[in-house]
């Protein structure tokens, strides 16, 4: 009996050691999970256990190249209409913002549902691209058809630099000291119930001289007119106008972009047209044309859209 008891006791001890070892291993594993169990959720996530969410939607009306950007990720270009999904993703439960990084050359694209929280794959960040209401937005030809010119300027093929879009620009070869003497205007038909988005490219080629650029609406009104009144306002030489974009001391040698949103709240009941007035002036120094850089001030790619 003594021998049997000894054997049984050793077996019991062995079994107890095994149970303790298994228990210790389980405890160590549980402690590890408690300490680092959420480390695989990704940056910006709220839990999620490593689950990521895709962001996309539908593109309509696109005729060129649209660049879209998710949060701080690199932009991604799209050239066709239909459904799309951005290659960058976000963690489950993370916030997202989609922005237009670059518009098509003759369009403006409006985004819907561009921000939110991704608790599932997002499929409704839609981009609706609209053509410019100005048919001759890039002065191709070269042509200034539709535009009313005041001062020394014309649509030309640039010398010594490249057009921003296509092969032509509008160029002033001399500037007056006031904004009413060097301007190019156009009346465009609009829907008075919708806001306008306006953008244009500008470039100074004056060397050491500096110039100012303004986007304005001639007269003291809202810029919304009947067709006849709009045409009259476009031919008027006046320094009395509403300033929508004022760019002082334009630096020379490169294209820059100006953008402005005009609300429809000021439109009169009989408004059918809107007057765009691009103006430049000499800022205290005579515009001395550089032989290799064309005229004093150039405009290109004037885009006006409504959603």
Confidence of residue 135 (pLDDT cuts 50, 70, 90): confident
For residue 23, pLDDT over 70 is answered with: no
Q: What is the pLDDT of residue 277?
A: 81
Q: Which of 106-115, 189-198, 272-281 has the lowest mean pLDDT?
A: 272-281
Tell the CATH topology of 48-131. Immunoglobulin-like (2.60.40)
Q: What is the pLDDT of residue 195?
A: 87
Burial 6-34 (b: 16+ CB within 10 A, else e): eeeeeeeeeeeeeeeeeeeeeeeeeeeee
Q: What is the pLDDT of residue 291?
A: 39
For the chain, what are the domain ranges? 48-131, 148-305
For residue 246, pLDDT over 70 is answered with: no
User: Percent of the chain at pLDDT above 90?
Assistant: 32
Q: What is the pLDDT of residue 131?
A: 93
Q: Do domains 48-131 and 148-305 have the same CATH topology?
A: no
Confidence of residue 242 (pLDDT cuts 50, 70, 90): low
- For the stretch 70-118, pLDDT in tens is 999 999 999 999 999 999 999 999 999 999 998 888 889 999 999 999 9
Q: What is the pLDDT of residue 226?
A: 77
> Which carries the bigger pLDDT value, residue 100 or residue 190?
100
For residue 41, pLDDT over 70 is answered with: no
> Which carries the bigger pLDDT value, residue 165 or residue 78?
78
Q: Which pTM was predicted?
A: 0.70
Q: What is the pLDDT of residue 123?
A: 97
- For the stretch 247-276, pLDDT in tens is 655 666 788 888 888 887 767 777 888 888
> Which carries the bigger pLDDT value, residue 34 or residue 11?
11
Provide mean pLDDT across the span 151-168.
87
Tell the CATH topology of 148-305. Jelly Rolls (2.60.120)
Provide mean pLDDT across the span 17-23.
55
Q: Which of 37-51, 134-148, 172-186, 188-202 has the lowest mean pLDDT?
A: 37-51
Q: Within a 10 A sphere around the Cβ of 283, how many other Cβ atoms? A: 17
Q: What is the pLDDT of residue 244?
A: 54
For residue 236, pLDDT over 80 is answered with: no
> Which carries the bigger pLDDT value, residue 203 or residue 83?
83
């Amino acid at each position: 009996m003594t021998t049997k008891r000894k054997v049984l006791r050793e077996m019991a001890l062995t079994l107890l050691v095994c149970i303790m070892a298994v228990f210790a291993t389980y405890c160590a594993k549980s402690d590890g999970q408690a300490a680092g169990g959420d480390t695989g959720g990704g940056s910006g996530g709220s839990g999620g256990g490593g689950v990521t969410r895709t962001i996309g939607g539908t593109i309509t009306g696109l005729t060129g190249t649209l660049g879209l950007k998710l949060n701080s990720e690199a932009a991604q270009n799209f050239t066709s209409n239909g459904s799309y999904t951005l290659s960058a993703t976000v963690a489950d439960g993370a916030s997202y913002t989609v922005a237009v990084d670059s518009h098509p050359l003759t369009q403006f694209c409006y985004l819907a549902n561009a921000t939110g929280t991704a608790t599932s794959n997002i499929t409704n960040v839609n981009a609706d691209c609209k053509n410019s209401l100005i048919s001759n937005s890039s002065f191709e030809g070269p042509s200034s058809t539709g535009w009313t010119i005041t001062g020394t300027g014309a649509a030309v093929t640039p010398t010594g630099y490249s057009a921003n879009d296509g092969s032509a620009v509008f160029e002033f070869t001399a500037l007056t000291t006031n904004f009413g003497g060097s301007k190019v205007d156009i009346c465009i038909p609009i829907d008075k119930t919708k806001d306008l988005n306006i953008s244009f490219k500008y470039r100074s080629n004056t060397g050491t001289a500096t110039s100012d650029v303004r986007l304005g609406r001639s007269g003291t009104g809202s810029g919304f007119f009947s067709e006849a009144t709009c045409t009259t306002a476009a031919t008027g030489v006046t320094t009395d106008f509403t300033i929508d974009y004022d760019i002082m001391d334009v630096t020379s040698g490169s294209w820059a972009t100006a953008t402005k949103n005009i609300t429809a709240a000021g439109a009169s009941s009989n408004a059918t047209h809107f007057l765009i007035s691009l103006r430049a002036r000499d800022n205290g120094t005579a515009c001395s044309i550089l032989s290799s850089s064309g005229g004093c001030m150039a405009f290109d790619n004037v885009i006006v859209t409504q959603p």
